């Protein structure tokens, strides 16, 4: 059989040359901006020559995460690391009709603002794209000391957030050339990626760049009252090299993590957005800013039923609790419930209520999915294989226990349908329950209870 010609997309950014991949077309590793170390991003000018887009975006340089490796294996197989990482990748159905504008999902990966990349294999959107007829954009941005810790005397804060804003500007300018509808852009994020999206809702210059957001497991309970910690961590990091080997910057991240320990739960995620630094309002103005944004952005926000069991299984401190005679299992359940509420679920509830009271449309969801034989239960990240990835990328991870991929895929099909419908219309036929998988409910200004028990 003859090989299909490489797809060419004639966009304002230039002519992008992608590739066919079964039921989808991919255009990967497209540069949306450049940035010198510790400097704001500068939009990439239009290219004169064709832009080859057949290699994945490089990951931002980052220190290895041993605990994450235990759970998810070699996440970065096939990827390289490069400070020149401000790239994005586009995936669309191969059989898209010329008159078919597609809703656009922009993926912002998680990883506590220190790990991850847009093109990890576990985030492969092919099934979601082909099945639900959406266009998917995965963004890679700066992390850790390169993107999410700053001070008046050192690198500016929020550089990674500025990267994301620049990527969204690229999407608005160019996505129609790939078949996407720039008026139907939905941001989809997990964990710190969802936290970043929540803050993009109120970031200067971001109004109008997206219409909807899907916030999975955003650690919004850690977002407030970080000023003293940020100052202490910036001091601990010390002067950082403006040029030279990036390993010299990464070596300081361990110092920052150790300095964060005295700040309790917040110190568990020492890197993040900083209020009062461009492009974010002061902390005292955040609630008003989110309320002002509410009528302009539809929100789907939620968590898993046992968020912090993800960390409880891996963290040696939790395992010591588990070994307490007679009471260990009960104590662990209490710790998981309390920490999940403090970091994720209570703040999501408050976010949803404020959004509804300010005139916004908002739905809350609870992921109940517990793969058979998995010690993690309905833990942080268990929702990801329901939406993204393939059997090859998830089969070796203990997060899914003994569950067969076909079971995961079929459970996910219903979730993918609901999420794609939200991207198209801003609505979910709520309340809706997929037994053992998901519960979704519309939040009204007077909602007092969530039947998902959280």
Render pLDDT for 145-189 as a digit per residue (tens, 0 to 9). 999 999 988 999 999 999 999 999 999 999 999 999 999 999 999
Taking residues 202-214, what's their average pLDDT?
Answer: 98
Render pLDDT for 7-57 as a digit per residue (tens, 0 to 9). 999 999 999 999 999 999 999 999 999 999 999 999 999 999 999 999 999
Alpha carbon distance 137, 189 (integer Å): 12
From the candidates 307, 339, 355, 439, which is the catalytic residue? Answer: 307
Q: What is the pTM of this model?
A: 0.95
Catalytic (active site) residue 192: no
Instruction: Tell me the C-alpha to C-alpha distance, in Å, between residue 238 and each of 71, 117, 220, 252, 256.
Output: 32, 26, 27, 8, 10
> 127 pLDDT exceeds 80?
yes
Render pLDDT for 227-283 as a digit per residue (tens, 0 to 9). 999 999 999 999 999 999 999 999 999 999 999 999 998 998 999 999 999 999 999
From the candidates 191, 217, 340, 393, which is the catalytic residue? Answer: 191
Sign of the torsion angle spanned by Cα atoms 120, 216, 281, 106? positive
Q: What's the confidence (pLDDT) of residue 231?
A: 96
Q: What's the confidence (pLDDT) of residue 195?
A: 98
pLDDT band at 430 (very low <50, low <70, confident <90, very high): confident
Catalytic (active site) residue 112: no
**Domains of the chain, residue spans:** 8-443
From the candidates 109, 199, 216, 380, which is the catalytic residue? Answer: 380
Contact 351, 450 (CB under 8 A): no
Catalytic (active site) residue 307: yes
Render pLDDT for 292-347 as a digit per residue (tens, 0 to 9). 999 999 999 999 999 998 877 666 666 665 556 656 567 777 888 888 999 999 99
CB under 8 Å to 445, separation ≥6 — which residues? 353, 356, 357
Reduced to 3 states, what is the DSSP secondary structure of residue 128? helix
Q: Which CATH number fits domain 8-443: 3.20.19.10, 3.40.640.10, 3.40.50.20, 3.40.50.1820?
A: 3.40.50.1820
Alpha carbon distance 270, 305 (integer Å): 24
């Amino acid at each position: 059989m003859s090989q299909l010609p490489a797809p060419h997309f004639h966009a304002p950014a230039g002519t992008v040359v992608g590739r066919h991949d079964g039921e989808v077309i991919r255009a990967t590793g497209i540069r949306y901006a450049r940035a010198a170390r510790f400097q704001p991003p500068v939009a990439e000018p239009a290219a004169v020559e064709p832009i080859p887009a057949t290699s994945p975006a490089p990951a931002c340089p980052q220190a290895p995460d041993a605990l994450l490796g235990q759970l998810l294996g070699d996440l970065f197989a096939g990827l390289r690391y490069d400070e020149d990482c401000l790239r994005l990748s586009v995936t669309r159905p191969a059989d898209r009709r010329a008159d078919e504008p597609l809703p656009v999902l922009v993926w912002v990966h998680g990883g506590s603002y220190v790990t991850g990349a847009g093109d990890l294999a576990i985030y492969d959107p092919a099934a979601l794209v082909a099945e639900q007829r959406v266009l998917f954009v995965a963004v890679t941005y700066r992390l850790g000391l390169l993107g999410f810790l700053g001070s008046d005397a050192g690198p500016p804060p929020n550089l990674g957030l500025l990267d994301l804003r620049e990527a969204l500007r690229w999407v608005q300018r160019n996505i129609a050339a790939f078949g996407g509808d720039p008026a139907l852009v939905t941001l989809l994020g997990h964990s710190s990626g969802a936290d970043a999206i929540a803050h993009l809702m109120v970031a200067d210059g971001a109004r109008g760049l997206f219409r909807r957001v899907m916030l999975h497991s955003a650690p919004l309970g850690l977002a407030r009252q970080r000023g003293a910690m940020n100052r202490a961590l910036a001091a601990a990091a010390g002067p950082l090299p403006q040029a030279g080997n990036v390993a010299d910057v990464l070596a300081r991240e361990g110092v920052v993590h150790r300095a964060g320990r005295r700040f309790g739960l917040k110190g568990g995620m020492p890197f993040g957005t900083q209020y009062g630094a461009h492009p974010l309002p002061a902390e005292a103005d955040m609630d008003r800013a989110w309320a002002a944004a509410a009528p302009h952005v539809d929100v789907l926000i939620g968590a898993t039923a046992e968020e912090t069991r993800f960390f409880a299984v891996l963290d040696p401190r939790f395992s010591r609790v588990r070994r307490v005679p007679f009471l260990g299992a009960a104590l662990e359940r209490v710790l998981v419930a309390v920490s999940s509420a403090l970091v994720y679920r209570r703040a999501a509830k408050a976010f949803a209520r404020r959004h509804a009271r300010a005139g916004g449309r908002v739905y809350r969801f609870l992921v109940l999915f517990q793969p058979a034989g998995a010690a993690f239960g309905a833990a942080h990240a268990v929702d990801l294989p329901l939406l993204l990835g393939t059997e090859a990328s998830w089969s070796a991870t203990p997060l899914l226990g003994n569950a067969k991929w076909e079971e995961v895929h079929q459970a996910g099909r219903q979730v993918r349908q609901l999420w794609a419908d939200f991207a198209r219309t801003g609505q979910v036929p709520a309340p809706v329950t997929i037994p053992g998988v998901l519960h979704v409910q519309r939040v009204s200004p007077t909602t007092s209870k969530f039947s998902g028990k959280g």
